[in-house]
Structure 1
Amino acid sequence: MSSGELRVVAPAGTPEVRPGDDLAELLLGLVELQDGDVVVVTSKVVSKSEGRLRAGSREESLADETVRVVARRGPTTIVRTRHGLTMAAAGIDASNVAVGTIVLLPLDPDDSARRLRAALRERTGRTVAVVVTDTAGRAWREGQTDIAVGAAGLRVLESFEGRTDAHGNPLAVTAPAVADEIASMAELAQGKLGGRPFAVVRGRADLVLAPDDDGTGARALVRAEGADLFGYGAREAVVRALAGHAADRAPFGAPVDAEELVALLTGPLAGLVHEVADEDGEVVVRPIAGAEQSVRALAFAHGWQEADPGTVADSSACLRLVPATP
């Protein structure tokens, strides 16, 4: 358990990090580690040491770092990266580097954390955890905070499920993302312009795992496609549902049940249809004239599809809808 006291040290004196630099050597020249410490390092210096520097602009590298676009607003593009992260410009950074140079996120931040942890263990004999951080915005919140994009040797989620509070109330879904909390706390000590890419958090040794256990990594904090409820921006969701490409099914989530689909078509969207019926797991819909595509888009967004696509030629015919398969 936590002692109720935490200490964060962000040492000054780190030189400009270059490709091939030994991060463990740089850190150990600045601070003496103790068992149970959590070492925090920014993804930028990890990327620099791993040679993830590129000439050019963020826009030129964005496509290669993007799995899919979540939303666009003017010059801002929010994407899902190969790491599963949802970030502006795929986390590509053009600050604190030479003009005309950008820094990409590490290829595998969890692996970067594991290798740094192993190097620190080998050279000091200390059992520590490592967190790799990056800065991200939050939906519905102004400003940014640091989050954990990589981790090793740390319990990244602290589950309270099954416990009770002081009043006897059961805790059902309380699971603090402690890796993210550590990342943001460390950033307060590091600052954005202080040239302090390392921090050591002391006082939560209970979260640090045994030397032979690197844990789940920060990847465990990433929600699976379709599980976050907000797979696209509001405008993009409309476009994707109307387009109906099979590859876009996952971000919309699992199919709803027939009862929920019928309730939509007979409730807020009743003006689109003449008749709706649930027939043994199929939803049979007779759309009004001109509403066929709207019904198809609604079905797509809720995980349903036509049982026999392309058979509806006019509004007198019916659409037979069934749950889509992955």
Structure 2
Amino acid sequence: MNTSALSAFAAEPFPTIRPGDDLAATITTTLTGQGSALCDGDIVVIASKVVSIAEGRYRDLATVTPGPQARELAALTGKPAEIVQLILDESSDHFLATDRGPIIARHHLGYQLTSAGIDRAGPDGAWLLPEDPDASARRLRDALTTSSGAKVAVVIADSDGRADRRGATVISIGAAGIASLRVTEHTEPGGRTKHQEETLTDLVAAAAGLILGQRGRGAPVAVLRGITYQPSDEGVAAILHHAPKRRP
């Protein structure tokens, strides 16, 4: 299951996505407009924010009432108290990477993410993560496969910080059609076989992150071609140490 070379390109120019839009159809139309087409084995990497927007995961900050803990963390980190309250609402526990943040939170979905994966939506709102990123990935994969006729995989990616360093990277939070974990093995001197587990969908997301739109570039979808992977619909949730907690 080795990959010796790959290619990647962004789907652009990509239109502004609004709540209720058909994201899969928009991806297909954008690729057609740039003279591209999906092929068997392609991996379509989609930024989580546009998935959240299409699924209407918006919160009006005017409807959020910060509690004492949120106000205290807001004073320490400089974040708006309403955003901090959303971080607390979306997570089961948290800690500060430094005395002044960022806030690293254990999301109810099982991920450990900076600010619980919450994105600002201007001064008055915020976008929450998709309710079930693996399910979102499956729906998008099915729609893209139907429209293109190609057997593709989908990875939903989110930019995220690290508690031990400055800056952001890109990780996977949802996947369909691709096994999130890759197991490799090699024989060491003496004949002992060593097994190694790699989070393949994180590697895929990070590779796509090199060309995905950041800070207003406006390219939230990338296609990666040439990567060898095992088809699977288990999703990213299957490899998490903390199982998702379904809320009523």
Place the TM-score, normalised by the shorter chain, in its bin: 0.7 to 0.9
1:98 to 109, 116, 122: 122
TM-score (norm 1): 0.62
State the AA in 1 paired with 2:48. Answer: S
Call closer, same or farther: CA 1:141–1:220 in 2, change over 3 Å.
farther
- Partner residue in 1 for 2:85: 60
How do 1:1-326 residues align onto structure 2 when only pairs under 5 Å count? 1-31=1-31, 32-56=37-61, 57-71=82-96, 73-74=99-100, 76-94=102-120, 97-161=121-185, 163-164=186-187, 170=192, 172-192=194-214, 193-204=216-227, 206-209=228-231, 214-224=232-242
Residue pair 1:129, 1:208 contacting (<8 A) in 2 also: no
Secondary structure at 1:21's aligned position in 2?
Answer: coil
Identity rate of aligned residues, in percent? 38
Q: Normalising by the residue count of structure 2, what TM-score does the alignment of the two structures yield? A: 0.80
- Structure 2 distance, partners of 1:61, 1:169, is 53
Distance 1:139 1:220 in 2: 23
Structure 1 runs (4+) deviating above 6 angstroms are: none
Amino acid at match of 1:194: R
Q: Does the aligned pair in 1 maintain the 2:24–2:143 contact within 8 Å?
A: yes
Show CA shifts across 1:134-165 (max 9, x none).
0122243332210000000102111014x326
Task: Tell me how far 1:133 sits from its aligned partner.
Answer: 0.6
**Counterpart-to-counterpart distance in 1, 2:100 and 2:163:** 17
CA contact (8 A) 2:155 2:174 kept: yes
Aligned residues: 216
Q: Tell me the amino acid that sits aligned with residue 175 of structure 1.
A: E
Cα distance between partner residues in 1 of 2:212 and 2:219: 5
Computed over aligned residues only, the root mean square deviation of the Cα atoms, in angstroms, reads 2.0
- Which has the larger strand fraction? 2
Deviation (angstroms), 1:14 = 1.3
CA displacement at 1:169 relative to structure 2: 6.4
Distance 1:139 1:221, change over 3 A: farther
Give the greater-gyration-radius structure (CA): 1
TM-superposed CA distance for 1:188, in Å, is 0.4
Deviation track 1:74-105 (CA, whole Å, cap 9, x = no partner) reads 353221111111112211111xx333121101
Aligned partners of 1:135, 1:23: CA distance in 2, in Å?
Answer: 19
Larger relative CO (CA 8 A, sep 6+): 1 or 2? Answer: 2
Cα shift readout 1:276-299 (whole Å, capped 9, x = no counterpart): xxxxxxxxxxxxxxxxxxxxxxxx
Q: Which runs of 5+ in 2 are unaligned?
A: 32-36, 62-81, 244-248
The amino acid across from 1:33 in the alignment is L
